[in-house]
Amino acid sequence: MNSTLEKEIISIVADISGYDEEEIRPESDLQKDLEVDSIKAIEIAVAIEKKYKVSVRDEDIPNLVTVRQVVDLIAELTKQKG
Amino acid sequence: MNVSPNEQYDVIIIGAGISGLVCGCYLAKAGMKVLVLEYHTKPGGYCSSFKRRDFLFDAAAHSFGSYREGGNFRKILEDISLDKRIMITRFDPSDIVCTPDFEISFWNDTQRTVADLARLFPAEEHNIRKYFDYYSPQSSVNQFANMKMIGKTFSSFLGSYFYDSRLLNALTFPVFGNGGLPPSMLSAFTGTKIFYEFMIDGGYYPEGGIQQLPDALSSYIQEHGGKVFYRKCVQKILCKNETVTGVEVETGETYLSKYVVSACDITQTAKTFLKKEKAGNVLRQKVATMKSALSTFILYIGIKKPFSGLPQKGTNIWYLPHYDLDKIFYHVNRCDFRKSGGFMFRVAPDKKTILAFSLAPFRTETFWRKNKERIANILLEHVTKTIPELTQNIAYFDAATPHTLYRYTLNHKGSNYGWAPLPSQLFDPVFRHKTEIKRLYLTGHWITQTHGIPGVAYLGYNTAKSIMRREKLPR
């Protein structure tokens, strides 16, 4: 896993969820552990899409449960972009 | 003398609206020493009641949603055990939309609403079922499911379901009323939230009037060692090294605290309270780019005695004169209430009063002084057309203009919904929770698109949780 990418995404999640970066683990469940509600989820998605210039596809959405899954998806999308 | 300037508090909350009070309840429950400072003489903000002669009127907010089993507002009241202290009833139907051709009732039993609609619009039955299914808890994949709504209006969302514009406009008129924008301008995300929380799970009301809610929240804070002071108009948030140290009120007294939560109008927070703070620049710049929602014109009618044609108590009754919500919006913005024609009214549960509402733009105090009576009479004419017997039964009559709402709550442009819920004003977290000033937090309807009592209560809860996490207090 790309540790820089993970660090950057944890920082975005921290900013929007209100949790400290130290409290956020790759395996943290966004909804259950970090209380990310539907509006915060989209705020996170918008911030990530803007930063990495990628678009999350509809079929990716069901897989976005943990921080790690978000990091993996962005790694994949940026790789595809070349 | 109960004021103790220079006493140190853990947290000062500016504004005793529902968001500030809920935030204060959680923090007081967690053991923090809370002080709430309110400009008005009682708690509640838009969620308050007042007495004139023998009539008790709700000032603006008059019912709420999200109180289903597992609903956010129920969870909050349960957390602080106020669900047992306040008796909450639910009116059925919560809302009725009356159009020139048909009526739609929003029953507590959604299946009954769907069946009624399917009977009225048989050609749209499949679409109606599909639309209501969207709101069933099972249909949501996860909290990212609404990503498709980024940048979309509620109209484009609805267009994927319905063909019949009469059905579409009637179904969404209350969403327009509760959001301040017609579906063609309203963000899809906010439109669906309002539809779910207000129309599918709406109609709740505390016995004894809406003031019961803020009164109970305020009492809870005081029972848990906190203080709530009224007639305290904050003028300045005190900072040292870009960290809050307390607040100063109009009369010059200062109150010191480790945290400050501004739960009031955000333009004042940015432009006045933080006027001299460089760190307030991001907030000020953001505020300058935002457009606020419309305000409301409200009629308060006291009834001599209940009469036979009096509509059902507790139900919000919406009158839609035609099927063009954009046109209503256009005329409302021009203060042409004769042409706008759309309005909502509600007979209070005690059957002694009626509230009637129309969206209205903010204008100068002089404009409203000149036009208040004329506009009140136009709105009253609309109401008496639908309840002819009312004309002989009016014992008291007054109105609140957008400027009145501003005067009592100090909300920017008398807005009762915060920023206009445009797609372009959503999903930008600048106003949420943490600010560049250390230990200054924001809450209330200005920090994101949220609506009604449950929406601001949830934000108050969220802000309290952020502070509790920071303080490492048990949550």
Lowest mean pLDDT among B56-70, B254-268, B273-287, B341-355: B273-287
Instruction: Give the percent of chain A with pLDDT over 90.
Output: 62
Please answer yes or no on whether A56 and B448 come within 8 Å at the CB atom: no
Please name the fold of domain B8-87+208-291+420-470. FAD/NAD(P)-binding domain (3.50.50)
ipTM score of complex = 0.89
Instruction: Give the percent of chain B with pLDDT over 70.
Output: 98
pLDDT of B1 over the 50 cut? no
- Closest-CA distance, B29 to chain A, in angstroms, reads 20
Please answer yes or no on whether B145 and A39 come within 8 Å at the CB atom: no
Query: pLDDT category, A2, cuts 50, 70, 90?
Result: low
Containing domain of residue A53, as a range?
3-81
Structure tokens at A51: 């930063």
Q: Give the model's pLDDT for residue B2.
A: 44
DSSP state of B9: E
Instruction: Give pLDDT tens digits for B250-290.
Output: 999 999 999 999 999 999 999 899 988 888 888 899 999 99
Query: pLDDT category, A1, cuts 50, 70, 90?
Result: low
Decide: residue B446, CB within 10 A, 0-12 exposed, 13-18 middle, 19+ buried. buried
Mean pLDDT score, B386-401: 95
Q: Give the model's pLDDT for residue B371.
A: 96
- Closest-CA distance, B426 to chain A, in angstroms, reads 8
- CA-nearest residue to B141 within chain A is A62
Q: Tell me what the pLDDT averaged over chain B comes to.
A: 94
- Would you list the DSSP string of B372-403? HHHHHHHHHHHHHHHSGGGGGGEEEEEEE-HH
For chain B, what are the domain ranges? 8-87+208-291+420-470, 108-200, 294-409
- Would you list the DSSP string of A22-51? GG--TT-BTTTTT---HHHHHHHHHHHHHH
Instruction: Give pLDDT tens digits for B97-129.
Output: 999 999 999 999 999 999 999 999 999 999 999
Instruction: Give pLDDT tens digits for B159-217.
Output: 999 999 999 999 999 999 999 999 999 999 999 999 999 999 999 999 999 999 999 99
Q: Report the amino acid identity of residue B116.
A: D
Whether B466 and B434 have beta carbons less than 8 Å apart is answered as yes
Task: Give how many domains chain A has, as a whole number.
Answer: 1
Helix axes B212-223, B18-29, angle to 10 degrees: 30
Residues linked to residue B403 through DSSP beta bridges, in sequence order: none
Structure tokens at B109: 């039993």
Mean pLDDT score, A9-23: 91
Q: Give the model's pLDDT for residue B429.
A: 76
Instruction: Look up the CATH number of the domain holding residue A68.
Output: 1.10.1200.10
- Closest-CA distance, A16 to chain B, in angstroms, reads 7
Q: How far apart are CA B281 and CA B270, in angstroms?
A: 8
Please answer yes or no on whether A18 and B143 come within 8 Å at the CB atom: no
Q: How far apart are CA B207 and CA A21, in angstroms?
A: 44
- B433 and chain A in contact, CB less than 8 A: yes
Phi-psi category of B359—alpha, beta or left, where left has phi over 0 and alpha has psi -120 to 50?
beta
Lowest mean pLDDT among A73-82, B128-137, B383-392: A73-82
